[in-house]
Structure 1
Amino acid sequence: MGTAAIEVRGLWKIFGPKADRIIGSPDAALEPAALRAKTGCTAAVRDVSFEVRPGEVFVVMGLSGSGKSTLVRCLTRLIEPTAGEIAIDGQDVRGMSPAQLRDLRRHRVSMVFQHFGLLPHRRVVDNVAYGLEIQGVDKAARHDKAAQILSLVGLQGHEDSYPDQLSGGMQQRVGLARALAVDPDVLLFDEPFSALDPLIRRDMQAEVIRLHREVGKTMVFITHDLSEALKLGERIAIMRGGAIVQVGTPEELVGAPADDYVADFVRDVPKSTVLSLRWICRTPEPDEPLDGPELAADTVIHDAVPAAMASARPIRVVSGGELVGVVDRVDLLGAVKHQDAPAAAAAAPGEA
């Protein structure tokens, strides 16, 4: 395996008797309900493969029971995989000894859970410093580091508070600070904001975006919320029945869904706020003027509307200094009207 931050190849997790015998047998192709009925086993993760690039925010999303939380726990063997390969920074996780696994979890990979898991009898500063304490860092050094991280997540002044004195959003910030304090290479988030009120959840999403911009960690984020996935993910993997249905950028998922299931997921997304000019630009007509405003091909359609309204000339769409096409007012407004119309006739995902 190569040098991606995380590489997963052919990963399976099957719960039940004689689980390892299912892989490679005809039973492996059965639908989840049929597999349970025949074998008593549940295939929570089915032949999953993907890579996460260094410094990337990679989102895994799916409905309840799709296998996403099992998958993220397999990455550090909190749940032991049944089969497959996992590498973090090129090191074989499944081949690690217990001591190597402890080192991985203490120093290189941190996890933020939906339920904060804070120690109620300890002050905020000691909760944040807990991972450093486990590492054997002396008290003064770990408190100094914890204070720095609390400032980073906007909790300076709350060092001596106890968890029950904080709001839900502030407690989740403490959990985030605790994960960051050990300076891990990789952060794993398992639906960390799903228990929060909508406004607090939005604030925490913005906080993750800001922190990623400042610290640049590799992040794997698990969610069942499409809007959260589109907001946070540089690339998104959609899971169904333990398998990955499609991996792509938000633009690729919305603009070119792999199947009806993905199309159903993204049907209500206002596409003009996700798709770029690259998706709607066209070859110029022979007599069409090419002296209009210039926009990059990755400009979101919605953001291009003001430029189109301000000029009677078609917009020149460029990538890498090269002209890739043009769009005019009619193209843009047609795209906004057509692509944002609700897909009333579409069926809901089968697992909804």
Structure 2
Amino acid sequence: MIRIEGLYKIFGDRPEAIMPMVMEGKSKEQILAETGHTLGLKDINLSIKKGEIFVIMGLSGSGKSTLIRHFNRLIDPTRGIIRVEDTDVMQLSKKELQEFRRHKMSMVFQRFGLMPHRTVIENVAYGLAVQRVDKHTRTEKARQWLETVGLSGYEQQYPSQLSGGQQQRVGLARALCTDAEILLMDEAFSALDPLIRSEMQDQLIELQQKLHKTIIFITHDLDEALRLGDRIAILKDGVLDQQGTPDEILLHPATAYVEAFVKDVNRARALTVETVMKPAPYRISAETIEEALAQMKQFKSEYGYHVTEDGYQGFVTQASLEQCRDDQGGTGKLCEEVYQELPTVAPDDILERVIPDTLESSYSLPVVDTEGNLKGELERSSVADIFSDSSDKDEPDTDEVDQKQAVDSGRK
């Protein structure tokens, strides 16, 4: 959907004249001290997929807000390519850029950006008014979006009469009302109280499941990034340190800076079962008890997961199969009486929710999706590995300690 290649941004009077210093590898501090110019972004390369929430995060001054303003050319780069689908954004004329901003992208701001002299419904409909949509149509559409974000009945209120959370819902409804394919959200929830912020995150996730927008979300909060992002890019001093899925960022930090960021994250709340599940090797496809026992003998296992064309059926052990065979006095068919009680978990379950079942069970838990398919198994040892302390690693060097202190200072 969006491709950024070789993006550089230097703030100052003579940015092109400073580019040789950047290419030589001089630091942001050196360039500022020697020239008075600020290196905002350096060689950014990103590819954002259609329909995903792509989170760009970093501490204050990392360049994340500068970067998001390049997508719709609120800021022009010093060098680089910006493509949205088949459109080369850098080649758009002033008029074309206006139309591009009106129809292709919408923006949600940290401080809401509402017009105090307009009512709630007028604020939501504003983008459509700019597009010259007739009043009746834009009012009805705005009313529908207000209902979607839970603000039905507030149409004639003014922004000053609303709470911070309600104002941000108005801002979200306004951005969605234009039907733009791409939503730019710059620290959209950071001004909200923690509880309201969590509710807004929930609402965004719920809306995205229905709308499948392409969302670029800026934040300095790693917990928020891990909760919302399909993929995450971490910036430091205008440089892209790492990009990847939340579990890749958490489990395989690429630099000391990223490692310092993720060190204190509650992994049980951030990771899902799918992250740590393993293939389920002991699948029983037999129809009779004797056939199941024969399959189990081939596996050299004392348990297995019974799977048919209809999906996962139940969990069986060698002991339960033999007991049922003896009770029946023959080779009966596999049925519910043979199955042993064992909880199932879903691939998208948060680990925190399934840890008690994992610890209480003597066997690996079957991972079953919403359609009843056996996707894998969750081993107790796999869960334990996720939470094993990094104390096994060598002591960090001085640079790593400095990185950690920098991150901790930024959080405070």
TM range (shorter): 0.7 to 0.9
Aligned residues with identical type, % of pairs: 44
Distance 1:186 1:82 in 2: 24
2:165 maps to 1:169: yes
Amino acid across the alignment from 1:161: Q
- Of 41, 44, 67, the match for 2:37: 41
Q: Determine the structure 1 residue equivalent to 2:50.
A: 54
CA 1:23–1:157 in 2, change beyond 3 Å: closer, same or farther? Answer: same
SS in 2 for 1:151: helix
2:363 maps to 1:313: yes
Contact residue 280 and residue 375 of structure 2 kept, 8 A: no
Q: Determine the structure 1 residue equivalent to 2:97.
A: 101
Q: Larger Rg: 1 or 2?
A: 2
Amino acid across the alignment from 2:81: E
CA 1:64–1:159 in 2, change beyond 3 Å: closer, same or farther? Answer: same
2:385 maps to 1:335: yes
Q: Determine the structure 1 residue equivalent to 2:150.
A: 154
Distance 1:317 1:106 in 2: 45
2:17 maps to 1:21: yes
SS in 2 for 1:129: helix
Q: Offset at 1:48?
A: 0.3
CA 1:26–1:103 in 2, change beyond 3 Å: closer, same or farther? Answer: closer
Aligned length: 344
Contact residue 46 and residue 242 of structure 1 kept, 8 A: yes
Q: Determine the structure 1 residue equivalent to 2:106.
A: 110
Q: Determine the structure 2 residue equivalent to 1:350.
A: 406
Distance 2:129 2:240 in 1: 38
Amino acid across the alignment from 1:101: L
Q: Determine the structure 2 residue equivalent to 1:291.
A: 304
CA 1:287–1:27 in 2, change beyond 3 Å: closer, same or farther? Answer: same
Q: Offset at 1:144?
A: 0.8
Contact residue 110 and residue 180 of structure 1 kept, 8 A: yes
Amino acid across the alignment from 2:406: G
Contact residue 60 and residue 221 of structure 1 kept, 8 A: yes
Q: Offset at 1:333?
A: 6.0
Contact residue 168 and residue 196 of structure 1 kept, 8 A: yes
Contact residue 227 and residue 270 of structure 2 kept, 8 A: no
Distance 2:280 2:179 in 1: 49
Say which structure is richer in helix: 2
- What TM-score do the two structures reach when normalised by structure 1? 0.88
Amino acid across the alignment from 2:55: V
Q: Determine the structure 2 residue equivalent to 1:249.
A: 245
CA 1:289–1:349 in 2, change beyond 3 Å: closer, same or farther? Answer: farther
Q: Determine the structure 1 residue equivalent to 2:27.
A: 31
CA 1:299–1:287 in 2, change beyond 3 Å: closer, same or farther? Answer: farther
Contact residue 272 and residue 340 of structure 1 kept, 8 A: no
Distance 2:277 2:125 in 1: 51
Q: Offset at 1:259?
A: 1.1
CA 1:259–1:175 in 2, change beyond 3 Å: closer, same or farther? Answer: same
Distance 1:132 1:315 in 2: 51
Q: Offset at 1:300?
A: 5.0
Contact residue 281 and residue 317 of structure 1 kept, 8 A: no
Q: Determine the structure 2 residue equivalent to 1:198.
A: 194
Moved more, 74-83 or 27-36: 27-36
CA 1:128–1:277 in 2, change beyond 3 Å: closer, same or farther? Answer: closer
Distance 2:351 2:10 in 1: 43
Distance 2:60 2:205 in 1: 25
Q: Determine the structure 1 residue equivalent to 2:69.
A: 73
Moved more, 254-263 or 301-310: 301-310
Amino acid across the alignment from 1:266: V
Q: Determine the structure 2 residue equivalent to 1:239.
A: 235
Distance 2:143 2:24 in 1: 50
SS in 2 for 1:263: helix
Distance 1:6 1:119 in 2: 30
Distance 1:295 1:177 in 2: 35
SS in 1 for 2:33: helix
Q: Determine the structure 1 residue equivalent to 2:133.
A: 137
Q: Offset at 1:297?
A: 6.9
Kindly indicate whether structure 1 or structure 2 has the higher relative contact order, using CA contacts under 8 Å at least 6 residues apart.
1
> Counterparts of 1:82-97 in structure 2 under 5 Å?
82-97=78-93
- Of 3, 16, 21, the match for 1:7: 3
CA 1:28–1:183 in 2, change beyond 3 Å: closer, same or farther? Answer: farther
SS in 2 for 1:111: strand
Q: Offset at 1:64?
A: 0.0
5+ long unaligned stretches in structure 2: 282-298, 306-314, 316-343
Distance 1:322 1:195 in 2: 43
Contact residue 60 and residue 237 of structure 1 kept, 8 A: yes
SS in 1 for 2:406: coil
5+ long unaligned stretches in structure 1: none
User: RMSD between aligned alpha carbons?
Assistant: 2.9
Q: Offset at 1:20?
A: 1.5
Distance 2:48 2:158 in 1: 36
